Structure 1
Amino acid sequence: MGLAAKFFAIILIFASLLGGFALEGGSLISLWHPSELLIILGMALGAFLASTPVAVWLRTLMFLRRYFSGDRISKALYKEVVMLMYDLSRFARAEGMLAMEKHLLEPAASPIFAQYPSVLRYPELRDFVASNLNYLLLNPPQSEDFGGLLEMQIDNYMDALQEVPRATGKVSDWLPGFGIVAAVLGVILAMGLLGGDMDVAAIGQAIGAALVGTLTGVFFAFAIVAPFSHAVEVMIRQERALFEMVKVLLEAFEHGVSPNLIRETGKQLVPPELEIDWEK
């Protein structure tokens, strides 16, 4: 989903909630209770931090940036990966595998990698290519299960990324409960207004504020956090597809496939919806 589409979806969510409430004659100001937000979102954040390691915090921030800055897996990245593997294969054929060592040990300083800025900005992918080509340099080709080694690396990386939607999915499950906690606190405050000189209007407002707590918990659970968790899962599936393509190209490199065939194989593995113009 493009960045503009995401913002449209978020606006649609809030407009549907607030617009529908206003059309029913509700006062929007009656939904504004900062204390409820503090209780619910503060508890949700605290529970998230308490239940996950720092590495998951950092990956969650990474996915938040990606969510609001556009898709990381782009046409340019796919095209650059295919052409990088093509150029590396050509270089190995022309200069020999040993001549590739300096490019693989320091890809950030390599003139070959420098032609592909999208790959350089993706350190996990860059290192996946460089380290595994270096592995082929240090080991006789086809001496071990190279494909199995690549698959294990991909699985380990994807398992680490999956910790993010697992954690945010838990937060989505917990938010309605935190909303109930806020609602109970509101009811306790409303009960404190009961007495000889009861102000019925004040009691009604207090109970209404308590119910907003329940609404807020459910709203953030199912309209904000759950969609974000699903979006992260989609991003992870896109990353796996990219890494699986690179795995095939690395295996082709290992088996001595020609540079032109490596390039054509890569073209066939690009998701069709990207519609890359290979002539440019």
Structure 2
Amino acid sequence: MLGIVGIAVIFVMVFGGYILAGGKLAIIIKALPFELMMIGGAAVGAFLISNDIGSVKHTLKDIGKVFKGPKWKHEDYRDLLCLLFELIRLARANPVAIEEHIEAPEESSIFSKYPKILTDKEAINLISDTLRSASMNYDDPHQVEEVLDKRMDANLHHALHSSHALQSMADGLPALGIVAAVLGVIKTMGAIDQPPEVLGKMIGGALVGTFLGVFLAYGLVGPFSAKVKAVTEEDGHFYHLIREVLIANLHNHATNICIEVGRQNTPSHCRPSFGELEEALKTVKQDAA
């Protein structure tokens, strides 16, 4: 919703200010389709050249983040802590029983309590792989932490590709606007014998190219890139919380302490209060009894 409001504010302020200053939209409207075809088409073409089909699909999908915001909300972090509490407690009480849950999470009675988390393959794999490694005696906290850090860094690098692709497009748009403007000037020079009022409109139409390139770069595509990056990095905290709790578990801290470590490493605006989490964990214990 905030993204839509931002776009509306940009258009109202830019074009509203232009009209209030005495500008005429007729010239912009007349030149806009052709300028947009040249600038937008060239930008899309350059985007396709510099990315593979997987990256193109990923970027188009990630544009939705501008309007949807972060995937993980306050209640999701609370649910994650409850899920990890159940798994750690079971793994310590019965190491054999945990295997059926981490080997087939989609059939697990524990994972199925948290359907939103279950749909995220990376979160599920991160939990399952780490618990599986611990059951195979690969449980040195420092080594496991290093492995998890490298894994999450690689995942974040891949997830940020959309933002980088959009920023590359934003960086190129002003130059493409100049290209369109130069073509407009060439067209104007070919009609140099026309009266001044005709040439004035042609030059104004040519300058629409420069305006459009800069406007799209700094008013739309650049902010889209920044928002995608911010949302992606914020969603990354969800996986960092998994790492913190599971590493605390490998240090053999009490289960409640492991969960508290995770709670305190949750972003402040999504962090459940101590009392709220205690109530949620109490419910989990009652259901398991």
Same-fold call, TM cutoff 0.5: yes
Cα deviation per residue 1:23-57 (whole Å; 9 max; x = unaligned)? 01112232221111111111111111111223322
Shift of 1:214: 0.4
**Aligned positions of 1:12-91 closer than 5 A:** 12-32=9-29, 33-91=32-90
Corresponding position of 2:285: none
Letter in 1 for 2:83: L
Aligned equivalents of 1:243, 1:146: Cα separation in 2: 14
Asked if 1:194 corresponds to 2:212, the answer is no
Gaps of 5+ in 1: none
Secondary structure at 1:204 match in 2: helix
Cα deviation per residue 1:202-245 (whole Å; 9 max; x = unaligned)? 32222111100100000111111111111122123213322222
Secondary structure at 1:103 match in 2: helix
Q: Which moved more, 1:206-215 or 1:140-149?
A: 140-149
Across the two proteins, how many residue pairs are aligned to each other? 274
Shift of 1:275: 5.0
The alignment's TM-score, normalised by the length of structure 2, stands at 0.88
Secondary structure at 1:99 match in 2: coil
Corresponding position of 2:107: 109
Secondary structure at 1:71 match in 2: coil
Letter in 2 for 1:162: L
Letter in 2 for 1:66: K
Asked if 1:276 corresponds to 2:288, the answer is no
Gaps of 5+ in 2: 281-289
Identity percentage of aligned residues:
32
Cα deviation per residue 1:70-113 (whole Å; 9 max; x = unaligned)? 3212112211211111111122233x222212211221222211
Letter in 2 for 1:253: N
Secondary structure at 1:272 match in 2: coil
Aligned equivalents of 2:182, 2:101: Cα separation in 1: 62
**C-alpha distance 237-182 of structure 1, shift in aligned 2 (>3 A):** same
Secondary structure at 2:110 match in 1: helix
**Aligned positions of 1:93-104 closer than 5 A:** 93-94=92-93, 96-104=94-102
- Give the superposed CA RMSD: 1.9
Shift of 1:68: 2.0
Asked if 1:218 corresponds to 2:214, the answer is yes
Aligned equivalents of 1:185, 1:140: Cα separation in 2: 64
Corresponding position of 2:130: 132
CA contact (8 A) 2:69 2:231 kept: no
Q: Which moved more, 1:210-219 or 1:27-36?
A: 27-36
Shift of 1:140: 4.1
Letter in 2 for 1:135: S
Aligned equivalents of 1:125, 1:49: Cα separation in 2: 30
Aligned equivalents of 2:104, 2:183: Cα separation in 1: 58
Q: Which moved more, 1:60-69 or 1:42-51?
A: 60-69
Asked if 1:235 corresponds to 2:231, the answer is yes
CA contact (8 A) 1:76 1:118 kept: no
Aligned equivalents of 1:67, 1:143: Cα separation in 2: 37
Aligned equivalents of 2:145, 2:234: Cα separation in 1: 20
CA contact (8 A) 1:245 1:269 kept: yes
Shift of 1:144: 7.1
Letter in 2 for 1:146: V
Aligned equivalents of 1:62, 1:139: Cα separation in 2: 39
CA contact (8 A) 1:79 1:276 kept: yes
After superposing on structure 2, the runs of 4+ consecutive aligned residues of structure 1 that deviate more than 4 Å are none
**C-alpha distance 82-205 of structure 1, shift in aligned 2 (>3 A):** same
Secondary structure at 1:97 match in 2: coil
